[in-house]
Amino acid sequence: MFSSQGDAEVFSRKGSVVSFARRWLALAPMLFAAACSQPTVPSQGIPSAGEWRTFEGAWSASGTRQTINLETNHRASIFDLTGSLLLVGEQRLGVGFEAQAIGFTDSLAGMQGRCVWTDEHGDKVYSKLKGEFVATGNHIVGTFLGGTGRYAGVTGEYSFQWRFIVESEDGTVSGRAVDLKGRARLDPAAVTPAGEHGK
């Protein structure tokens, strides 16, 4: 028998503490094992400067085209198109650009052109265009030639097929790029700290 009610309460509290400690010691190894067994999710952040960035995009543009007929089944054109370019994917160069392209096409010799992408900060990406005569469905390849600000020294390439939506008699045209895909690599020396952009 206990000598007093106080001794009984003390013994009861000690018994509860011992019981709790035993339960915790039995549970701790299981919690540790569960924590160690959680799979590590790889980071899928933006690649650092100098690494290849792959992207896809949508480009719609309108402008003018002037065409002259040469000999039978032979014609040449100059074009000037401006529109919006949107890139998708975690590795894109940017979200949106204004894209302007000018060039010369020959139905026998193909197409040569130049293109400038300008982002919301005014930084530019330069590229040259080469491909088949610019008409619906023709394949075109762009090669990056550098740029300004964070795009200075950018390299890479992209490709797409062009589809005209509107072709009027006065030379007004509009269309869009289909299946635009590419890759680019930024020059580490040109990348500015967050919030700073070259012009």
By the 8 A CB rule, do 99 and 83 touch? yes
Can you give the pTM of this predicted structure?
0.69
pLDDT of residue 198: 46
By the 8 A CB rule, do 83 and 61 touch? yes
The CB density around residue 90, as the number of other CB atoms within 10 Å, is 11
pLDDT of residue 140: 94
By the 8 A CB rule, do 76 and 104 touch? yes
For residue 47, give Cα distances in angstroms to 17, 57, 109, 162: 53, 18, 39, 29
Helix%, strand%, coil% for the chain, nearest 5: 20, 50, 30
pLDDT means per 10 residues, the chain with 199 residues, are: 48 48 46 42 48 93 95 92 91 88 92 96 97 74 96 96 90 94 88 48
By the 8 A CB rule, do 140 and 161 touch? yes
